[in-house]
Amino acid sequence: MEPVAGPLLVATRSRHKLREIREILGTVPGMEIVDLVQVGIAESQEEDGLEEAETFSENALAKARYFQRRSGYLTVADDSGLVVDALGGRPGVRSRRFAPMPDAVDRDTQDRLNLAHLLTSLEGVPPEGRTARFVTEVALVTRDGSFRTFRGVVEGIILESPQGNGGFGYDPVFLHPPSGASFAQVPDEEKARVGHRGIAFRRLAGFLRGAAGHGAEEIHEE
């Protein structure tokens, strides 16, 4: 992999993700973080085909490569999803498109429809059968096309009804047992520490610090 130097493009259209990621990567000394709006990359229909692979890592890498080619920047992208044991691993890589969707719905509406569809799919399943995990795969692609990936996983249980007003996506129904609360109830600072996205992006941040000679951070999953 070529020497890693910024600016670093965070390739996501989600304002919620962008806020979480900026907070974590902002700890890397000297690393300038930019987003798609800042570099002038307008949303394109081509982006709809970037999450068609069967694994989180393949999807993350496809997105990172696409936006690296469009921007010319060192680029990072992620693919995240919820894996529910009682549903055979679904929604998995289809987490953002789990529920039947009308055309041209915004992200908040997608979240609401997906959440409702998940709860309907799990009706009648007892608590001991509602085990699940959030998974994030992060892909970093350099200007010469080389890449590295970083993974974060957190175990939990799907609640029978939403709890809490924070977070986004499936957070209101994902009980994180060590916290004793749903991810929508956990403070942002704690979620960044124990959550799947936080784990994966802190691993990336540790790699970037090490590449810059500042020493890497050891990350533990909870």
Q: List the catalytic residues.
A: 79
β-sheet bridge partners, residue 155 = 133
Q: Phi/psi of residue 149, each to 5°?
A: -125, 155
The kind and range of the H/E element at 112 are: helix 107-121
Report the amino acid identity of residue 159.
L
| Per-residue CA distances from 4 to 8, 193, 201, 210 (Å) | 9, 24, 16, 10
Which three-class secondary structure state does DSSP give residue 87? helix
